[in-house]
Structure 1
């Protein structure tokens, strides 16, 4: 019937997933388990795309739903940090009362969506803020700096990636990165050595001079917010 709600195909690419678009889908037969292709979608005009996932840890997920918010991962997402309604006061409200590390808050998708590990490092470096700073302890000036750094860092990242073919995305991302993944290199702002803190399955990078007053952060805690 005309009133039927349309279906949505929603997919989460996880860490190693890719979407490859074809103007004309290949005619090759997909053999489950013998190829990195997890799903092939074709359209009436012959175009379509493959969803692929490399590596041994399989986390790619696909849903067919009437509304995107029926997907659990979407339903629990926080606000879009580049949305017009994501103001400085909205950020302040999200931080209020959270006696947890600001790095973990920025990575928590249920608090604010889409930042992740790399860009939380970049935002905190641009804001000249320690990743261990407590969210609830930030004063007005620090929240101002954090908000400005968040918006500018993410806006620049989107601009760097826009229109680039998949093969160029990683290089484009790295060119715009100041500290994440640059352990042992010189900070482009002050020249100090970029340092790392390692956790169970990831790490964070920071500049001691820019962010912690020269103090080296102890590699001692496995915060539940940094897992």
Structure 2
């Protein structure tokens, strides 16, 4: 799933390639992708594209007086093409969900792999009309997101810190992968209750959050859209690396089922050497 660093890199890429270009046509190719109907997609055609703005994991392209907003969800991606095929694509065939064609050639496709279709596209007059954007918490890379602001978000949270970091209504842009990386860098158990952090622990977690995200953004800067997924994976130290040695201590990275996905962690670095109980598996064995 693209998270804040990859979406920020896509924003930079689109700004470089789209600013000032004119939309020739927009073709919706998957029934599930378009979440709005007024204004229609055709209202974008013939208008020039302005700046692209990131809201958490959402991308919003300004097109004339409207905004084309997309959320790539778990399996969505943006594929840039310098030259579009002459033959129009056939709806319902393959992973292609939407195609935007520019005057003079080129454009991009939105694609989604798998059977769960969650990629979402909106055409709105104001990005705040998109429910997912309206409910977002603060951006962790914003100038005013300091340690005190972070501490205020954790205070009173009786949930596990892994879930809090992933909650887009609390902090915008962090998903499953980077929450694992942040907690590993901070040497914190993903099951620790957010409200139980003392002041030094909050400070350590805040620094880990900032360094992890900013380093990932720096790695992704200037990387072509088609290579961002590989770049993300190459920079991860525990997420997606179950069974491999921890790059810090050499212990084996372990995995635990968590909500609708799984988390990865290092027992030595994060849980005092104790493996975490896989509660989903425990329920199945009863």
The normalised TM-score by structure 1 is 0.91
- Alignment partner, residue 218 of structure 1: 277
Deviation string, structure 1 residues 44-90 (Cα, Å, up to 9, x no partner): 33332211112211111110001101001111111111111110111
- Alignment partner, residue 205 of structure 1: 264
Q: Do the aligned partners of residues 172 and 83 (structure 1) sit closer, same or farther apart at CA in structure 2, a change above 3 Å counting? A: same
Q: Do the aligned partners of residues 221 and 143 (structure 1) sit closer, same or farther apart at CA in structure 2, a change above 3 Å counting? A: farther
Alpha carbons 2:254, 2:265 under 8 Å: kept? yes
Alpha carbons 2:78, 2:225 under 8 Å: kept? no
- Alignment partner, residue 54 of structure 1: 113
Greater shift in the superposed pair: 103-112 or 26-35 = 26-35
Q: Which has the higher strand share?
A: 2
Q: Which residue among 193, 205, 211 is the counterpart of 1:134? A: 193
- Alignment partner, residue 146 of structure 1: 205
**5+ long unaligned stretches in structure 2:** 1-63, 282-286
- Alignment partner, residue 77 of structure 2: 18
- Secondary structure at 2:80 match in 1: strand
> d(CA) in 2 for partners of 1:170 and 1:24?
22
Aligned length, in residue pairs: 218
Q: Which residue among 222, 242, 248 is the counterpart of 1:163? A: 222
> d(CA) in 1 for partners of 2:162 and 2:140?
15
> d(CA) in 2 for partners of 1:122 and 1:196?
13
> d(CA) in 2 for partners of 1:217 and 1:90?
30
Q: Which residue among 216, 231, 238 is the counterpart of 1:179? A: 238
Q: Do the aligned partners of residues 185 and 109 (structure 1) sit closer, same or farther apart at CA in structure 2, a change above 3 Å counting? A: same
> d(CA) in 1 for partners of 2:72 and 2:235?
22
Deviation at 1:187? 0.7
> d(CA) in 1 for partners of 2:258 and 2:239?
14
- Alignment partner, residue 20 of structure 2: none
Higher relative contact order (CA 8 A, sep 6+): 2
- Secondary structure at 2:279 match in 1: coil
Given the alignment of the two structures, is residue 33 of structure 1 paired with residue 92 of structure 2, yes or no? yes
- Secondary structure at 1:173 match in 2: helix
- Alignment partner, residue 6 of structure 1: 65
Please report the RMSD computed on the Cα atoms of aligned residues, expressed in angstroms. Answer: 1.6
> d(CA) in 1 for partners of 2:100 and 2:182?
36
> d(CA) in 1 for partners of 2:254 and 2:83?
47
